[in-house]
Structure 1
Amino acid sequence: MAIEPQSEPDQGAGGMSLHLPGRPPYTVTDLLEFPDDGNRYELANGSLLVSPSPTPIRQRALARLLRVLDDAAPPELEALPDVNLAVSQRDFYIPDVVVVPTEATSATELMFKPADLHLAVEIVSPSTKARDRILKVGAYAAAGIPLYWRLELTEGHSLYVYELEDGEYTPPVCYEGGKVAELVRPFPVSFDPADLT
């Protein structure tokens, strides 16, 4: 959901007022001052995107996908969950999984740049489906991320694979649950999307 300016403060858990630092349009600097309240805060052109804590099935899919990618990754690449991705001062995302060069994981930087990513993955949930299916396809392509995977848990456990070509993603290839997806990028890996849950 997107947060719009309000005349009254947001009500947090227990009816307590929740004041978020800064004013729209928000920046990455503003986000760094936000409370650690269990929500995931992202930015799209300065608009605040808020997601609740992940469901257990989404956490299971995330853990299993990380295991699959870790087992298949060459030493020079590594899969990581929930990293900070700063595209600009007004565009900030937290992909569910990324694949980055192993050398980039030893940096002390708080955020990754799009050029660091070989792959971004989003695991779609009811609260994120619009942004994962539309917004992030455009945002990740514009940022130059060469590969985007969208894992659908409610639609037959399907995996949609987008590849960057001439600055845009090609129409996605769908790998349906119940069949093994044989993928070659960012490295050879095979798995059945249904096995992730």
Structure 2
Amino acid sequence: MATIEPTARRKIVLPAPPYTVDDLLKLPDDGNRYELFNGSLVVSPAPTPLHQRAIYRLAHILTDAAPPGLEALPTVNVCPGDKDFYIPDLVVVPEAVSESVGLMFAPSDLLLAVEVVSPSTKMHDRGAKAAAYAAAGIPLYWRVEPEPGPALYVHELEGDSYRDPSVYKAGTTVTLSTPYRVSFDPAELFGRRLSNP
């Protein structure tokens, strides 16, 4: 059994692993991100301001470029099965699906999943998440690495795994055609905004 102590006064006792999505939904909304990978619980702290900046800016870039019927959404729930529950930093989905979905998206709803790497999640984002997203059939996975770059790693699904990623470094404008045409420099995601003229 695992004990989670969100506050000094309240304890939540989970059954012995492997955990299920039902177990996960009993956890408190305490600012941490709780995910499941094949029944294993992964807890991440709330994102840093720079992490949030990158998510917000990329969401804005993707939203501005999106054709009618598609949209970018931050931190949604994705549930491929009873022992898996993911919360990507950003996804692209059809608007019609997001209007009808309840608490959780199915992996088949996603055209793109994005993770912005932070010190506490880098090993997970580079390995376990990439493998899990590929196994779930998510066709496109972008990993944004702030250090030493920033850089964008684009993983495209081939069969049941991702091909080696294409890497785009800061200082170069990236033009991608999937999930739709979009152009940006990875440096835009973290740097200070220039003042308006």
| TM-score, with length taken from structure 2 | 0.92
Match of 2:57 among 49, 64, 70: 64
Aligned residues: 190
Aligned residue for 1:55? 48
Aligned residue for 1:32? 25
Aligned residue for 1:178? 171
Structure 2 residue ranges without an equivalent (≥5): 191-197
Preserved CA contact (<8 Å) 1:84 1:110:
yes
Report how far residue 10 of structure 1 moved: 4.8
Q: How does 1:143-182 map to 2 (within 5 A)?
A: 143-182=136-175
CA deviation vs aligned residue, 1:130-177 (integer Å, no higher than 9, x gap): 110000111011100000000001220000000011221110000001
Does residue 129 in structure 1 map to residue 122 in structure 2?
A: yes
Match of 1:78 among 71, 76, 82: 71
Q: Which runs of 4+ in 1 moved over 6 A?
A: none
Identity fraction in percent: 56
Distance 2:167 2:123 in 1: 18
Distance 2:72 2:13 in 1: 32
- Pairwise CA RMSD: 1.4
Distance 1:91 1:174 in 2: 28
Structure 1 residue ranges without an equivalent (≥5): none
Distance 1:139 1:146 in 2: 12
Distance 1:97 1:11 in 2: 28
Preserved CA contact (<8 Å) 2:6 2:30:
no
Distance 2:168 2:61 in 1: 16
